A and B are shown apart, each in its own frame.
Chain A
Amino acid sequence: MQSEVNARGEVRVLRPGSAREAVTMARRWGGTYIAGASWLQPVWERDQCWPRCLVALDPRWPGFRGIERAERGLVIGALTTLDELSRHPLIHDYLPALPELLKLVAGPGVRRLGTVAGNLCAGGDLSALFLSLDARLDLVGCDGPESKSLAAGYIASQGVDLIQSITLPDSRLWRIAVDKLGHRERFSPTRATVACVHGGDRLRLAVCGEGGPRRLPITEAALNDGHSRSDVDRARLLASELESCGWQDPTLRLAIQRMVDYLLAEVGHDD
């Protein structure tokens, strides 16, 4: 863990020439990766406490910015901004629910700065949707490239591996519904964002917000196992799973339950 400083002027900004060099620098100096900084910067300002060293990421590095169709689905560069994401034709084709969600994320100015990977690392609005899509992280590590599921990435979030891109499966034939509960209409931190994906014969659920980003495997399993359960039983199961993974506010759990029910109907789970 690198030490911290109390003045912004004391922060040392390293500017590596490549992704591999960035990883090396982060390992050597203990630096924090920085791109749009739309989330980190206010946190540092608030606490008056900055990392001693920042490793500035460069969106011009190959594969770090832009969106491409690939055999395995859609590959999104980690430093693609949220604004680019919301406007890209491939997103409108593959994930029409995403641009609507992005309208609720921050304001236009922040969306032009904030990056996809930054939002995921902060457990932001994209986390629930990307978790429910089984997104994979394409990483640049000390030992070369590596691929890891986003869910696994959250578990091992303390490493120095650098996200180069995020791969989403081809979801064009899937039914996807996502909803956000914020404190106000727009430009609000998420209290709870819930995503529900009906991909063929499987249903996937994920949530992010005040309780942190989580897939909900127990509830998913109950929904996918073919056994009919009463609404009350299903609600209890979800509430229990949410509570066990950090969602302590019972009213928020109730809201999530109701959002899940609504989204399940949206994706035609009852069909």
Chain B
Amino acid sequence: MTTEFRASVVTLDAGSDDSGSLTTELYRRIEGRLAYPTDLLDIPGLLQGAILRSEHAHARLLRVDTTRARRMPGVHAVVTADDVPGVNRFGIVVRDQPVFCVDRVRYEGDAIAAVAADTRAQAQAALAAIEVEYEPLPLVSDAMTAEQQPPLHESSNLLAQERFDCGDVDKAFAACHVVIEQEYRTPRQMHAFMETEGGVAIPDGTGGIVFRVGCQSGHRDVGQLADILDLAPSRVTVEAMATGGAFGGKDELTIQPAAGILALKAGRPVMIQLGRFESCRAGMKRHPVVAKMKTGCDANGRLLAHKVDAVLDTGAYASLGPAVLENYLDHATAPLYRIHAYSVSGRLVYTNNGVSGAFRGFGGNQATFAIESQLDALARALGRCPRELRRINLRTVDEPGSRHQPVRWTVAPVDLLRQAQQSPLWTLQKETSGRWLTGTGMALGAQGNGLGDGLPDSGGGRIALTPGGRIRVEFGFADYGQNVGEAITRAVSKGLGCGCGEIDVVLGHSRGPDSGPTSASRSSVLVHGVLRRMLPLWKAAVRQQAAVLTGYSLDHLAHGPGGIFHLGQRVLSYRELAENGRLEELVADAAQDFPVAPGQEKPVGRYLQLQIATVARVAVDRLTGRVRVTDLHHITAAGRVIYPPGYLGQIEGAAVMGLGMTLTEDMPMHEARMQRNNLDQYLIPTFQDAPAQRVDVLDDTPGNDPFPVRGVGELGIEAVAPAITSAIEAATGVRVHKLPVDPGVLLKGIHRQENLA
């Protein structure tokens, strides 16, 4: 076990960024001046599209009559399932979702038809004129009993099940001194992005079509859209525009199929932008999970046995549900801890409860909430300090992962724990009387980068010199607020020794290099890897031409600000090079597979691992049970920081998202109908709810580490919920196992304890 504390620790401060401070791009983003899909209103001939959604959560579709709608003023196209040119199905993992329902609707919000008209009001009026006859069917609304209900698709409502085993778990439980059994429930969280799902489909005049949309994987979407529209993939172009948030909610196709079919039918560009009500009703959600966990340890606190049985509600269609199940179970094996034997299983079921899919954390944070709660409970039962119990069970950097796979950490887990134990939040006075009860708690989390489990995962990029002498860098990633463009700019600037202002980053164009999906915290890793291959190629090509143009020896030329240098003097600007050189040769492409563990025939889990310790301080109102999170201190171990404001934004933003999941956010269902449809009912945290946050970076990666940069898009959410519930327990003595925390449950617990006292 590592005992020496060697890693460097830095507390991040956006204001201390030493490489050009906050950029113009960041201000444009903050002030809402980036061009978003919603802004594409000046496209000539633009029509407004709208989608008719099912009024029933489950019904037979008896009749869809669009006769009246077609005659409505301003209407240019009305389409139904009959008008889908190709495959009337989509879905990243399983193509089980119809573009337009044929004979059955499976959730309230399922698409039935769509209209394109001159104005949005006309489109809405035409939707209202479409006559639909339903025959309601029995609802499958309870995920726990879904498998016993009539199937929503061809076979059973069990979409997927998976199980990871290690050792003889029954024998291990028999040897336990303490066993904790508990059920955990996590909510149906909504992405609640600023900009709802939307974009424009534009016929290109030659039978093809261009999509300018908010999405997360333009290249992957091309394949699905080509099949739906019955076009060759080469006729479909997707431009993933900067969009006001995605968080996984735009990973799956959203409005693209309906907009594309309408555009082809009308022969004109069609914009569809979901309203907030529609987005709440039809948009993707986080999988609600019910998990039964049983964990045991010996008298010294060493973890011996662990059993998990989880049910994930994927709603009416699969989307990325099977992958979420896999990641949930991966995290449910407790990747940070050494457990003698485990049996971890999960079932993913269809219901009529909307659609669940990708969401920041991707199932992992739901599992971590339960795992970390179990460890606190074991420590309590043993009368041990929870941090000490963790310490004796943490894996070392030399050990394999929880699924026996090779893993690559950036620091020893015990170092992370030690740093968390030094948080100043532990030293703040605990208020035990008065109105507000305060407490501090902590949780650890691990999170891997990449799609994992041997799934095809690769990406590439391109660098070129433009005719105007600018450095153009292209990646297929989408920018939905994480500012990946700035991270690329910084890395290229550093690699070429040029200013950030000389670089143009082009993102998300399906005609450009395929970088794979913008998900799974994979972009930064691939950007770093691809640039490491690509920049030397490009530099060599540039210097070769520079040598010809200047007459200097290639070996004595170097890149620097604005161009090429010889003995410290600039001898050729990039503009001069562009004007006099052969531009077609000043292009470099590179691609790589996402790093996986060496020597594995079938990779398991994720090789590149990150860690976070979140220390939370809360104040709980003794009168009402409401919770204020006053401080969050994150100690992160995710390799080197290449863009401090972006790193801070990801960790702090994800943490506030996790805070919302912990305290207020849920989309409750009643008879398979969503009970919230706007942000005045579905309550996300506001600035007043956001705590003071501190982000420390702990890094122990050696200088020659091949993967020194990791992606932190999801890390910040990993341990927030259990840290907060641990702090609540420290303040009140009440442990919460169901999220979001119900203040009423806390109040009753506080009241009960007061009466006992």
Docked pose: A188 CA to B686 CA in angstroms: 10
Of B131-139, B296-304, B677-685, which binds chain A? Answer: B677-685
Contact of A251 among B664, B678, B686, B748 (CB under 8 A): B748
List chain B residues, Cβ under 8 A from A254: 747-748, 751
* Total chain A interface residues with beta-carbon distance under 8 A: 25
Contact of B664 among A6, A179, A183, A249 (CB under 8 A): A183
Could you tell me if B686 and A184 are in contact, using CB atoms closer than 8 angstroms?
A: yes
Report A239-271 residues with CB < 8 Å from chain B CB.
249, 251-252, 254-255, 258-259, 262
Give the residue name and chain of the A residue nearest to B125 (CB): A7
Expressed in whole angstroms, the minimum distance between the Cβ of B17 and any Cβ of chain A is: 30
Give the residue name and chain of the A residue nearest to B746 (CB): A251
| Residue A72 is within 8 A (CB to CB) of chain B in the complex | no
List chain B residues, Cβ under 8 A from A128: none
Could you tell me if B688 and A185 are in contact, using CB atoms closer than 8 angstroms?
A: yes
Expressed in whole angstroms, the minimum distance between the Cβ of A94 and any Cβ of chain B is: 26
Docked pose: A223 CA to B558 CA in angstroms: 87
Contact A251 B435, CB 8 Å, known A181-B624, A259-B623: no
B683-702 toward A: CB 8 Å interface, digit per residue (1/0)?
Answer: 10110110000000000000
Contact A251 B623, CB 8 Å, known A9-B121, A183-B664: no
| Residue A187 is within 8 A (CB to CB) of chain B in the complex | yes
Expressed in whole angstroms, the minimum distance between the Cβ of A137 and any Cβ of chain B is: 27
Give the residue name and chain of the A residue nearest to B745 (CB): A251
Could you tell me if B628 and A42 are in contact, using CB atoms closer than 8 angstroms?
A: no
List chain B residues, Cβ under 8 A from A189: 680
Could you tell me if B435 and A262 are in contact, using CB atoms closer than 8 angstroms?
A: yes
| Residue B663 is within 8 A (CB to CB) of chain A in the complex | yes
Give the residue name and chain of the A residue nearest to B629 (CB): A185
List chain B residues, Cβ under 8 A from A9: 121
Docked pose: A235 CA to B117 CA in angstroms: 61
B643-663 toward A: CB 8 Å interface, digit per residue (1/0)?
Answer: 000000000000000000001
Contact of A185 among B124, B623, B628, B748 (CB under 8 A): B628
Docked pose: A251 CA to B751 CA in angstroms: 10
Could you tell me if B688 and A186 are in contact, using CB atoms closer than 8 angstroms?
A: yes
List chain A residues, Cβ under 8 A from B745: 251
Could you tell me if A249 and B744 are in contact, using CB atoms closer than 8 angstroms?
A: yes
Contact A251 B688, CB 8 Å, known A183-B664, A185-B628: no
Could you tell me if A42 and B678 are in contact, using CB atoms closer than 8 angstroms?
A: yes
Could you tell me if B623 and A255 are in contact, using CB atoms closer than 8 angstroms?
A: yes
Docked pose: A160 CA to B140 CA in angstroms: 46
Could you tell me if A184 and B277 are in contact, using CB atoms closer than 8 angstroms?
A: no
Expressed in whole angstroms, the minimum distance between the Cβ of B58 and any Cβ of chain A is: 22
List chain B residues, Cβ under 8 A from A187: 686, 688
| Residue A45 is within 8 A (CB to CB) of chain B in the complex | yes
| Residue B626 is within 8 A (CB to CB) of chain A in the complex | yes
Expressed in whole angstroms, the minimum distance between the Cβ of A103 and any Cβ of chain B is: 9
Docked pose: A183 CA to B685 CA in angstroms: 10
List chain A residues, Cβ under 8 A from B626: 181-182
Contact of A258 among B623, B663, B683 (CB under 8 A): B623
| Residue A227 is within 8 A (CB to CB) of chain B in the complex | no
Could you tell me if A255 and B683 are in contact, using CB atoms closer than 8 angstroms?
A: no
| Residue B187 is within 8 A (CB to CB) of chain A in the complex | no
A184-223 toward B: CB 8 Å interface, digit per residue (1/0)?
Answer: 1111110000000000000000000000000000000000
Could you tell me if A251 and B747 are in contact, using CB atoms closer than 8 angstroms?
A: yes
Contact A184 B664, CB 8 Å, known A46-B277, A46-B677, A46-B678: yes
Give the residue name and chain of the A residue nearest to B276 (CB): A45
Give the residue name and chain of the B residue nearest to A256 (CB): B624
| Residue B625 is within 8 A (CB to CB) of chain A in the complex | yes
List chain A residues, Cβ under 8 A from B744: 249, 251-252, 255
Docked pose: A251 CA to B623 CA in angstroms: 11
Give the residue name and chain of the B residue nearest to A110 (CB): B680
Report A147-205 residues with CB < 8 Å from chain B CB.
179, 181-189
Docked pose: A81 CA to B58 CA in angstroms: 45
Docked pose: A258 CA to B622 CA in angstroms: 9
A39-77 toward B: CB 8 Å interface, digit per residue (1/0)?
Answer: 000100110000000000000000000000000000000
Docked pose: A258 CA to B688 CA in angstroms: 24
List chain A residues, Cβ under 8 A from B748: 251, 254
| Residue B128 is within 8 A (CB to CB) of chain A in the complex | yes
Give the residue name and chain of the A residue nearest to B435 (CB): A262
Expressed in whole angstroms, the minimum distance between the Cβ of A193 and any Cβ of chain B is: 11
Could you tell me if B622 and A45 are in contact, using CB atoms closer than 8 angstroms?
A: no
Contact of B689 among A185, A249, A259 (CB under 8 A): A185
Give the residue name and chain of the B residue nearest to A188 (CB): B683
Contact of B623 among A45, A184, A188, A262 (CB under 8 A): A262
Docked pose: A259 CA to B626 CA in angstroms: 12
- Central interface residue in A179, A249, A258, by most chain B CB within 10 Å: A258
Expressed in whole angstroms, the minimum distance between the Cβ of A170 and any Cβ of chain B is: 30
List chain B residues, Cβ under 8 A from A7: 121, 124-125
List chain A residues, Cβ under 8 A from B124: 7
Expressed in whole angstroms, the minimum distance between the Cβ of B756 and any Cβ of chain A is: 15
List chain B residues, Cβ under 8 A from A258: 622-624, 747, 751
Docked pose: A249 CA to B664 CA in angstroms: 18
| Residue A107 is within 8 A (CB to CB) of chain B in the complex | yes
B380-408 toward A: CB 8 Å interface, digit per residue (1/0)?
Answer: 00000000000000000000000000000
List chain A residues, Cβ under 8 A from B685: 184
Expressed in whole angstroms, the minimum distance between the Cβ of A234 and any Cβ of chain B is: 16
Docked pose: A35 CA to B662 CA in angstroms: 37
Report A95-126 residues with CB < 8 Å from chain B CB.
107
Could you tell me if A6 and B624 are in contact, using CB atoms closer than 8 angstroms?
A: no
Expressed in whole angstroms, the minimum distance between the Cβ of A29 and any Cβ of chain B is: 24
Could you tell me if A184 and B128 are in contact, using CB atoms closer than 8 angstroms?
A: no
Report B113-143 residues with CB < 8 Å from chain A CB.
121, 124-125, 128
List chain A residues, Cβ under 8 A from B121: 7, 9
Expressed in whole angstroms, the minimum distance between the Cβ of B74 and any Cβ of chain A is: 13
List chain B residues, Cβ under 8 A from A185: 628, 686, 688-689
List chain A residues, Cβ under 8 A from B689: 184-186
Docked pose: A181 CA to B622 CA in angstroms: 12
Task: Supply 21 A–B pairs (Cβ within 8 Å), ascending by A.
Answer: A7-B125, A45-B277, A181-B624, A181-B743, A184-B689, A185-B686, A185-B689, A186-B686, A186-B689, A187-B686, A188-B683, A251-B625, A252-B744, A255-B623, A255-B625, A255-B743, A258-B623, A258-B624, A258-B751, A259-B623, A259-B624
Other A-B pairs, 6, CB within 8 Å; known A45-B678, A184-B688 = A181-B624, A184-B685, A187-B686, A251-B625, A255-B623, A255-B747
The 8 A-B pairs at the shortest CB distance, nearest first, are namely A251-B744, A185-B688, A258-B623, A186-B688, A255-B624, A181-B624, A185-B689, A183-B683
